[in-house]
Chains A and B, each alone.
Chain A
Amino acid sequence: MVIPVETATITVTVDGRPYTATVEARKTLADFLREECGLTGTHLGCEHGVCGACTVLLNDSAVRSCLTFAIQADGQEVMTVEGLAAPDGTLHPIQQAFWENHALQCAFCTSGFLMTTYAFLKENPNPSEEEIRETLTGNICRCTGYQNIVAAVADAAARLRGEKHTQPVGGV
């Protein structure tokens, strides 16, 4: 038995740019970002709210876009991983810290970790390792064992505080 689907026309500002589309009421924010806005940096790992890969900011709060309907974001501001780097391409300090600390491997989870970290460091600019690990329990990574992600978040915090960053990894 197919349930008739209702639609609504919504406007969501994503990374500073308004997108207007008519969407089914049941369409998730993640699918809206990926399909209507063409922003495929937001990834779907579980679609039931456990893994955090789809984390974006909705009015500055980290939300799981797989558990948020697009229509809930109507008239509001969303920030995705595509909005992190500066317009000239300069990486955000969090991205730079993830790069230098080898905090990504297959990188499918990375966008979610970056956005979680962005929201977390706004609230807690000088976290302990324990606080970092506790916060990151909302995001699952299968490749890295988290060690380098934890180091990257601490490094990013130091950069954002304007302190000399810790232990850069050599390289290009």
Chain B
Amino acid sequence: MSAPIATRPQFAGQRIKRLEDPRFLTGHGQYVADIQLSGTVHVAFVRSNYAHAHIKGINAEEARKDPRCFAVLTGAELAQAKVFLPGAQNAPLPALAIDEVCYVGQPICAVVATDRYAAEDLAETIEVNYDPLPAVVDTLAATQPNAPKANLAFPTPGNVFFHMEHATDGIDDLFADPQVVVVRQTFRTQRQTGMPMETRGIVASWEPGTASLTVYAATQMPHGLRDTLAAALHLSQSKVRVISPDVGGGFGMKAPVYPEDVVVSFLAQQLGRPVKWISDRREGILADTHARDGLHIAEAAFSKDGLFLGLRDHMISPAGAYPLGLSGAVAETVLATLVLPGPYKVQQYAWQIDGVLTNTTPTGTYRGVWGPAATWVQEGMIERAARQLGIDRVEIRLKNMVRKEEFPYHSVAGVVYDPGSYQESLQLAMEKIGYAGFEEERRQAAAQGRTLGLGIACFIEPTAMGVMGDEPLTVPNDVASIRIEPSGQVIAQVGISSHGQGHETTVAQLIADQLGVDVQNVTVLHGDTAAVPYGGGTGGSRSITIGGGAAILAAQELRQKVLQIAGHLLEAAPEDLEIADSTIQVKGVPGRTVTLAQVAQTAYMLPQKLPQGVEPGLEATKRYTPPPITFSNGCHAAVVEIDRATGAVKVLRYVVVEDCGKMVNPMIVEGQITGGVAQGVGSAFLEQLVYDENGQLMTTTWMDYLMPESTDAPKVDFGHIETPSQNPGGMKGMGESSLIASPTALVSAVEDALGVWVGALPLTPQRVLALAEGRQEDAGA
């Protein structure tokens, strides 16, 4: 049994409009670029123009002489000060390059000036003398024996820096069995990046009196940044305060600590004044972590009647030029191994991973991380098997899915699926998209010369990671510290950190229900390491489950104390009391009441009126550790129309059935979904970071890198199923599922429309045309 959200949930489950919105709607949000500290100086970075080169020398004479210049900082000077970017083990990304640059956009030196315009002027005067080296850009080419080494400081055979493999006993026998049907496909995702509307940025301020550093940064993980900066600058953690003010989106890209964070903080310390750097979009596209760009060479074995018996996947994934602490090459693959079988009861399983260094921007996490590719592989295999075996696409899925009575289900990948609604979600999605009548619809459209297709993507989303092993990727728990002020107002300090998710509302909803107060009386503080206890920030769909869970537990503890004190004041047993509208009342006796404010004032000011043994004060701190993984699940379905003249794909209908357990705010859940579906349109059809053969990034503006626009995004029709989790409140994470499933649903629809198989993204109009005309292009590559 999961704990109930509250005895009388009034706010949880409701479409409460967001408490944080008025400041945003009036232009009074405060993002890092809006922080204007007196005496601030501004940084511009000189970045590598070469994908691979020796740096022979740096001439910054002209910049240093300019009266607008405050400092020029090089990698050699940073190394002399023993300042490094911690994190990566074998080939740490230098905060500023010293002898060798390994990707275009790598920071080489920083120039500090009176304002950003001046800093950019001065950066242009700095001459870097390069000796170009051979570069390797393509991931597979990099693994060839004679390929150049992408990083001379970290030479490895075939540029493979990371290898893992695993196989269940008997998988070779299975694939050799003449009775099984084997389907094969190589799936290649394109290189993308999270691309939040707000670029990265940091303002660092050194306070000489206390020898402490205050940093404002657009980060998803304030404590993670605090710890890393303290280590980099050899400061104690108590001397570094990180504030993430309003953050304009992250999508995984703002989770890591970057070279610029260390450089700007060091400069603030050296100069003794505030130093500011706000990335522009071009340098963001060059130097933010890139993502995806992986190969899955997959094969699956099915029985002739459609049982999904075995899955093999060889994953090859680029780290870029330096493996970051959480490299995309590792995150996209190792985590994929946990979920590749998806909702299906696969029995035999094998995988290998090769992480590869190339002369490209380091890779990291982007929303969904391993999920979009894993879903594509798992659904791609089942689609191919269905078509080859002549089995209905829905039937074959239903036949292989974990059934309701089989939970908790121990998957072949070694993880436990908690209860979900795999079959029910698929059935509901098919009902809503009109699967039963689709062949008729397709025929009628075809009679008018129109080409329609229907796509399906069933998914599981691993969320809210708890304790996963001895090397945690994230903080495996989170915290809420709640206090009731003498006025009866509630303040909650949480370790999760919103960058658009609406925690100031959803966490308040959970707390308000426990304490019987209006949601507007709950203020949620986050994103300041000096104000909130140690927390993991926001990423990995962890916040409402872990942080919200902690908030429920802390509020429950506080509720007990409120009832205990109120019972004493009202001369009634605590179990005979109820709280509503900030008033505690003896059940059924309207006159016998005490307000929450009176209870709070008693708790702080009149300890003599407290029950025996009750401590003064009205505050509680709780930390919640969830199970290793809480699985959400669901199904996306799309109907698309292909324009055979232009290759354009129009999404006619789009259905999402989501089961994320108990929803705290369905409006916010749906907002997360529509956003992820639009990003899925980007992944399927539009977005791609393109390098030329010399390692120059060709897509450094939003005229080249196509962001989904309002006419690209479909209108989503929702279905909700709520299978409660074991977490307090019954919640499951859901921030990533929409992007985990949507690219596959859209690709599947194109495949269905054209009767082809797709093996690479994005499906640009040229590629759709080629597929429509039956041309064998690179789709299967």
Contact = CB atoms under 8 A, between A and B. Distances in A.
Interface of A: 1-3, 5, 24, 26-27, 34-35, 38-48, 50-51, 53, 80-82, 84-85, 91, 95, 98-100, 102, 104-111, 114, 132-134, 136-137, 139-150, 169-172
Given A44-B33, A45-B198, A51-B197, 19 more contacts: A43-B248, A45-B199, A45-B281, A48-B701, A50-B707, A82-B28, A91-B26, A104-B25, A106-B198, A107-B21, A108-B197, A108-B249, A142-B196, A142-B251, A145-B679, A146-B713, A169-B667, A170-B16, A170-B17
B678 A104 contact: no
A110 B25 contact: yes
Nearest to B709: A137
A67 to B, nearest CB: 13
Given A106-B249, A143-B249, A143-B500, A171 B16 contact: yes
13 contacts: A1-B124, A2-B62, A3-B121, A43-B33, A45-B197, A82-B26, A139-B710, A140-B702, A142-B707, A145-B671, A145-B713, A146-B710, A170-B15
B675 interface: yes
Interface string B620-652: 000000000000000000000000000000000
B78 to A, nearest CB: 26
Interface in B646-675: 667-668, 670-675
B196 A95 contact: no
A26 B702 CA distance: 22
A146 B21 contact: no
Nearest to B674: A145
Interface string B664-696: 000110111111111100000000000000000
B26 A81 contact: yes
Contact of A148 (B36, B500, B674, B703): B674
A50 B703 contact: yes
B408 to A, nearest CB: 33
B117 A141 contact: no
B501 interface: yes
A143 B675 contact: yes
B713 A147 contact: yes
Nearest to B68: A2
B280 interface: yes
Contact of B15 (A84, A91, A171): A171
Given A144-B674, A172-B520, A111 B27 contact: yes
Tell me the dominant secondary structure on chain B's binding face. Answer: loop
Contact of B710 (A1, A98, A149): A149
Contacts of B17: 99-100, 102, 169-172
Contacts of B581: none
A48 B281 contact: yes
A161 B619 CA distance: 49
Contacts of A39: 27
A119 to B, nearest CB: 16
A26 B280 CA distance: 17
A149 B708 CA distance: 14
B479 to A, nearest CB: 23
B555 interface: no
A145 B716 contact: yes
B195 interface: yes
Nearest to A114: B25
Interface in B362-381: none
A54 to B, nearest CB: 11
Given A45-B281, A105-B502, A110 B707 contact: no
Interface of B: 14-19, 21-22, 24-31, 33-34, 36, 62, 66, 117, 121-122, 124-125, 195-199, 246-249, 251, 280-282, 499-502, 518-520, 667-668, 670-679, 701-703, 707-711, 713, 715-716
A106 B701 contact: no
Nearest to A144: B675
A1 B246 CA distance: 38
Contacts of A26: 117
A162 B413 CA distance: 59
> Which label, helix, strand, loop or mixed, suits the secondary structure of the A interface?
loop
A107 B249 CA distance: 8
Given A26-B117, A43-B31, A51-B197, A99 B25 contact: yes
A105 B34 contact: no
A51 B282 CA distance: 13
Nearest to B676: A145
Residue in A26, A99, A142 with the greatest tally of chain B CB atoms within 10 Å: A142
Given A107-B500, A171-B16, A2 B31 contact: no
A50 B701 contact: yes
A84 B22 CA distance: 12
Contacts of B199: 45
A172 B19 contact: yes
The 3 tightest CB contacts between A and B, nearest first, are A41-B27, A108-B248, A106-B500
B197 A140 contact: yes
Contact of B702 (A48, A100, A136): A48
Contacts of A148: 671, 674
A106 B27 contact: no
B14 A171 contact: yes
Contacts of A109: 197, 248
Nearest to A1: B125
B158 to A, nearest CB: 36
A137 B14 CA distance: 31
A150 B713 CA distance: 11
B710 A136 contact: yes
Residue of A50, A100, A109 ringed by the most chain B CB atoms within 10 A: A50
A50 to B, nearest CB: 4
Contact of A53 (B197, B675, B676): B197
Contacts of B672: 105
A2 B113 CA distance: 14
B18 A102 contact: yes
B34 A40 contact: yes
A147 B280 CA distance: 28
A133 B708 CA distance: 12
Nearest to B116: A31
Contacts of A48: 281-282, 701-703
A105 B501 contact: yes
Nearest to A111: B27
A144 B19 CA distance: 17
B677 A145 contact: yes
A82 B128 CA distance: 44
A56 to B, nearest CB: 10
Given A85-B26, A142-B197, A144-B674, A104 B713 contact: no
Contact of B24 (A24, A42, A104, A141): A104
B31 A145 contact: no
Contacts of B251: 142
A142 B19 CA distance: 21
Contact of A146 (B19, B196, B518, B674): B674
A36 B30 CA distance: 17
A98 to B, nearest CB: 6
Contacts of B673: 145
Given A2-B125, A26-B117, A95-B25, A105 B671 contact: yes
B14 A170 contact: yes
A64 to B, nearest CB: 12
Contacts of B30: 40
Contacts of B713: 145-147
B119 to A, nearest CB: 12
A84 B703 contact: no
A152 B679 CA distance: 20
B14 A41 contact: no
Contacts of A82: 26-28
Given A50-B703, A91-B25, A172 B519 contact: yes
